[in-house]
Every structure is written in structure tokens, then in C-alpha cells.
Chains A and B, each alone.
Chain A
């Protein structure tokens, strides 16, 4: 049974950094693209980033481009999101989600339980 488990969320000051992790199990991680999607309090879902199965390509939403970096370690079945220069509006629950692919079939068939990031002074 496949599972995605996020961790690394917490409280951070504006301008600070945080790294999220998502550990995958129950499927061949290296065969799938992976995404981060977030939901801010009282708002809807927002796609954050995608990395291809081999990590060779990455794509970002406009609000995080240049500040966030998605990466993966297929030997550890782990997806990462390095978040720098955090702002108040980055406060959200962050989900990792498995990508069906290939382009343009980038949709998500399985999601983790989410990890909460709170940016506050």
C-alpha cells in the first residue's frame, strides 16, 4: 500500500528557511514525478513545484520561483522542498503528491497527509 509521509514543518520567522521532506513507500519512487501542493488558511489549493522522476527537470509556481527548490533522492525514496526567504503568505499546509505524467498528464493520484508551515514573527 503506497504511502507518502511529509515532515519538517514548523514555525519560522519571515525571511527564514525551512526544508520539508516526503518519504515514499509502497511503490517504485524513482518511476514517478513528484509535486508539492499547498493550501493556505482559508484559501484554495496552490501547486508549488514538480520534479520529474529522475530529477532532471523541475517546474515552479510563480509565487515561489527563485525562493523554493524541489529535489529528490531516489536512493532514499525521499522528496524535498527547500524553502528560503519565507514570507507570511507562505503559511500553509504543504502536501506532497505523486504525479501520473508524462506531460501534459500532470495530475496527482496520491497525496500525503500534509505538514504545516507557519511563517510568523
Chain B
């Protein structure tokens, strides 16, 4: 199975400041088609998870442009340019290049 490792586990941020979360995979997530199959989800307190970023760097519909993703191969990063109070929650990366689909352990972001 592909192991997804997120760092840090916990992130305390100040509103208006930037934040970043790292995700490393135990195998390359780059497919023969050139794409990397890496996604980011956010689970806000008391809510279901929601999709933020698909295929490394594409923001899902309705996701604010302060969220961005980058990376390739085995190293990926989610960045929030200016954190807002509504961004608190658990952030997860996930890979889909190989079954079983696997998630990172999660990063808790608090203000």
C-alpha cells in the first residue's frame, strides 16, 4: 500500500498569515499520462469532508483562491496564502494512483 505522510500533525496559525502542509508518498504518484493523482480534503468541525484540490493543483469549484497546491512525484504541498477563521479543521491528502486509495494521517489547523 502507498503510505501518505503529512507534516506537521498540528498547525497553529494567525489569521492573515500564510500556512503550508506537506504530504509525502512512499511511491511516486505520477502516472504514465504525466499527471500526479494527489488530492487535498478539509474536514471542518462537525462537518463532512470536502474536496479542496484535485490532481495536485486544481482548485475544486467554490474553493477560495487563497488555497493552492503544488508538487510532483512523492512530495506535495498545500498552501493557504492568508488563513481565515473558517479554515480551521483537519486537512488530508489522498492518492488514487493505486488501490487501496490511501489518506495521510491528517493535519489539524487551529487559529
Contacts and interface: CB of A to CB of B under 8 A. Distances in A.
Contacts, number: 61
A68 B41 CA distance: 25
Contacts of B1: 62
Contacts of A106: 96, 101
A50 interface: yes
A114 B54 CA distance: 22
Nearest to A37: B49
A26 interface: no
Contacts of B23: none
A41 to B, nearest CB: 13
Interface residues of A, number: 24
B97 interface: yes
Nearest to A65: B100
A60 B100 contact: yes
A60 to B, nearest CB: 7
15 contacts: A37-B49, A44-B90, A45-B49, A47-B102, A60-B100, A61-B101, A62-B1, A104-B31, A105-B37, A105-B96, A107-B37, A107-B51, A107-B96, A111-B48, A111-B50
